[in-house]
Amino acid sequence: MSKKIVAYFSASGSTRTLAETLAAAAGAELYEICPELPYERKDLNWMDKKSRSTLEMQDPDCRPALAAQEIPVAGADVVFLGFPIWWYREPSIVDSFLDAYDFGGKTVVPFFTSGGSELGEGQGRIEKLAAGAKVLEGKRFCARASESELKSWLAALKLD
């Protein structure tokens, strides 16, 4: 049986809810990807062209600093990577996480929350940033997806 972890970023709590349910369904350890400077409500205003999140997402090379923490990616075979969709891709803090660890030989499984947007260019970006990993196609869920829905998805992935 493979060692699985769920690493997620959640600005508002929606992705956290999904990640907690997924970790229970997968029998995986749960880890939060935390920015050094937490996002405040005003930072997330996508209609404000000068908000922190807007400025970060306009720069594809932006890598916000991660909080001092250690997520045991090295000991995992499968990394479920959760995040909300921002501007049709993963938030820049997720890119910081992908840059911080070696994903060679691992399976990375993106999952995300969104009001309706898909991953768009994010799939290719994650594949590039998680160099050496097998990156499965990302899947969108509502934040309150049931454990049985997630178990069905996990079974279809055939990770074990």
Supply φ then ψ for residue 32, to 5 degrees: -95, 135
pLDDT in the model for residue 121 = 87
Amino acid at 58: Q
CATH topology of domain 4-157: Rossmann fold (3.40.50)
Kindly list the domain boundaries of the chain, sorted by start residue. Answer: 4-157
| pTM of structure | 0.93
The first and second tokens of residue 52, run together, are 């922190």
* Separation of alpha carbons 9 and 93, rounded Å: 8
116: alpha, beta or left, given left = phi > 0 and alpha = psi -120 to 50? left
What rounded mean pLDDT belongs to the chain?
A: 93
| Contact status, residue 91 vs residue 84, Cβ threshold 8 Å | yes
pLDDT in the model for residue 160 = 74
* Separation of alpha carbons 114 and 83, rounded Å: 9
**pLDDT (mean) for 3-14:** 95
